[in-house]
Amino acid sequence: MSFIKTKDGTEIFYKDWGSGQPLVFHHGWPLSADDWDNQMMFFLSKGFRVIAHDRRGHGRSSQTFSGNEMDTYAADVAALTAHLDLKNAIHIGHSTGGGELTRYVAQYGGGGRVAKAVLIGAVPPVMVKSEKNPGGLPIEVFDGFRTALAANRAQFYIDIPAGPFYGFNRPGAKVSQGVIDNWWRQGMAGGAKPHYDCIKAFSETDFTEDLKRIEVPTFVMHGDDDQIVPIADSALLSSKLLKKGTLKVYPGLPHGMCTTHPDTINADLLAFIQS
- Cα separations in angstroms, 259 against 173, 182, 249, 256: 14, 11, 16, 6
Catalytic residue among 210, 226, 233, 234: 226
Rounded to 10 degrees, the C-alpha dihedral 9/15/17/21 comes to -70
- Whether the link from the prior residue into 125 is cis, omega within 30° of 0, is yes
Q: Is 238 a catalytic residue?
A: no
Dist. CA 236–CA 248, nearest whole Å? 10
What is the residue-wise DSSP string for 219-245? EEEEETT-SSS-GGGTHHHHHHHSTTE
* Alpha-carbon span 245 to 105, nearest angstrom: 14
Q: Which of 26, 53, 91, 255 is catalytic?
A: 255
Out of 61, 62, 95, 239, pick the active-site residue.
95
261 is a catalytic site residue: no
User: Which residues fall within 8 angstroms of residue 235, CB to CB, at 6 or more apart?
Assistant: 119, 121, 122, 220, 221, 222, 247, 249
58 is catalytic: no
Q: What is the set of active-site residues?
A: 95, 226, 255
